[in-house]
Amino acid sequence: MKRSTKLTDRNKALVVAQKLEAAYRMKLTEAQARKVVSDIYEQLHGEQLYHATTRAFLTDWIAGKKNETSAGTHKRYQNAVDKLIAFLGDRADKDIAYVHKRDLTALRDKTASELSVSTANTDLKILRVAFRQAVVDGLRLDNPGAAVRTLEERKETNAPERRPFTQPELKKLLSVATGEWEGLILGGLYTGQRLGDLASLTARRIDYNQELLTFRSQKTGRDMVLPIAKPFLEYLKKHKPKDPDGPIFPEANSEKIEANGESRRLSSEFHQLLVKADLAKARPKSTRGARSALAPGASRRKRDRCGPDASQDGDAAKHYVRIALAVGTLRVGLKDDGRSS
């Protein structure tokens, strides 16, 4: 068997060839062969050949992402990494170069079967990013995730469609909303922002004279300036904290802090409101509720979710409704309650 050393210097090429020939005749183990290659690399370049196990690389990679992403995003990254390490077992402690596309394919299919297609696709996309970095770092020649396709999310014929609330449903929801939830619902409706962003909202971010709201999205990091609709503005004026840096929704803010920056508890509480208003069925355990999808037109935006996918929660999902209604229509629906001018 012949192989080129890819070297133009005859003496260096001869050294490499002799070492490889000796290694072949000795029938080295994997560890011994890697040591030989590392020695050759060091002799040619004056530095050691850097390599890493899958576990070590992914551990370092996820640690680096902690300061680059939100707490919720970092946790999703961590979950995807943990699944791969658990799936590989002892092989996670071998060189990262040994992870094959068939490993990621099998993990994708396993996750789709045990959890959901959506989760499997999300995990795959995260692992693609991780292995892309491994390629950049010179630890791999290719990205195994790039060769694995995401799965198509097919709806069952009897799967329910997400839809906006009707006016009577919105009135029922607001009738059972207590404490800060009235403001959170109004804030989600009139600004279209996530529960987590609303929970972090402080008085300093509100210009009561100009009727403007400024904030930075936790998920996207984008700075935004939004006009404040009158119903929400009236709520903000009524509940203005004395401290400019104080949260508008102190209870929601505290829950978010206790949950390490995530909004799972708030999403769970919102679902309980839906159950109380007889707009959803109680479920045995809370699932991801990523967003208070109250923005006008939110029912047309796949990313604006508040509740589980039908594939995850079975019968409970069939009664989970989408929170979205045009602002003008909502105002008409609330006039009878005296909540709008």
Q: Are 130 and 216 found together in one domain?
A: no
Least confident of 41-55, 133-147, 253-267: 41-55
- The whole-number pLDDT of residue 57 equals 94
Per DSSP, which regions of 194-260 are E strands?
206-207, 212-216, 223-227
Q: Are 41 and 68 found together in one domain?
A: no
The CATH number that applies at residue 205 is 1.10.443
- Calpha distance 263→196 (Å, rounded): 5
Q: Which amino acid is at 18?
A: Q
In a domain, 161, yes or no: no
Query: Residue 32 pLDDT more than 60?
Result: no
In a domain, 157, yes or no: no
Q: Model confidence over 176-186: pLDDT tens digits? A: 998 999 999 88
The CATH number that applies at residue 124 is 1.10.150.130
Instruction: Supply the angle between the helices 181-191 and 327-334 in degrees, to the nearest 10.
Output: 140
In a domain, 3, yes or no: no
Question: Which of 226, 230, 196 minimizes the C-alpha distance to 330?
Answer: 230
310: three-class secondary structure by DSSP? helix
The DSSP letter of residue 207 is: E
Specify whether the CB–CB gap between 261 and 72 falls below 8 A.
yes
Q: Model confidence over 236-289: pLDDT tens digits? A: 999 999 898 999 999 988 888 887 777 778 888 888 888 998 888 886 654 444
Number of domains observed in the structure of the chain: 3
In a domain, 14, yes or no: yes
Higher pLDDT among residues 13 and 235, named by residue: 235
Determine what percent of the chain falls in helix, strand and coil, rounding each to the nearest 5: 55, 5, 40
Q: Are 126 and 220 found together in one domain?
A: no
* pLDDT band at 212; cut points 50, 70, 90: very high
In a domain, 332, yes or no: yes
Q: Are 184 and 255 found together in one domain?
A: yes
- Calpha distance 81→77 (Å, rounded): 6
Q: Are 34 and 97 found together in one domain?
A: no
In a domain, 32, yes or no: yes
Query: Residue 335 pLDDT more than 70?
Result: no
Q: Are 185 and 331 found together in one domain?
A: yes
Specify whether the CB–CB gap between 65 and 55 falls below 8 A.
no
Q: Give residues with Cβ within 8 angstroms of 236, minimum separation 6.
A: 183, 206, 208, 228, 248
In a domain, 152, yes or no: no
Q: Are 100 and 211 found together in one domain?
A: no
Question: Which of 143, 137, 2, 144 minimizes the C-alpha distance to 61?
Answer: 137
Q: Are 95 and 172 found together in one domain?
A: no
CA angle, 126 as apex, 121 and 132 as ends, to 5°?
A: 125
Query: Residue 296 pLDDT more than 50?
Result: no
In a domain, 155, yes or no: no
Q: Are 202 and 58 found together in one domain?
A: no
Q: Are 41 and 58 found together in one domain?
A: no
Q: Model confidence over 49-96: pLDDT tens digits? A: 567 899 999 999 999 998 888 777 888 999 999 999 999 999 999 989
Q: Are 207 and 329 found together in one domain?
A: yes
Query: Residue 152 pLDDT more than 50?
Result: yes
Q: Are 331 and 241 found together in one domain?
A: yes
- Measured in degrees and rounded to the nearest 5, phi and psi for residue 154 equal -95, 135
- Measured in degrees and rounded to the nearest 5, phi and psi for residue 185 equal -65, -45
Give the domain extent around 268: 167-337
Question: How is 68-88 classified by DSSP, letter by letter?
Answer: TS-HHHHHHHHHHHHHHHHHH
- The whole-number pLDDT of residue 87 equals 96
Select from 116, 147, 178 the last residue of a domain: 147
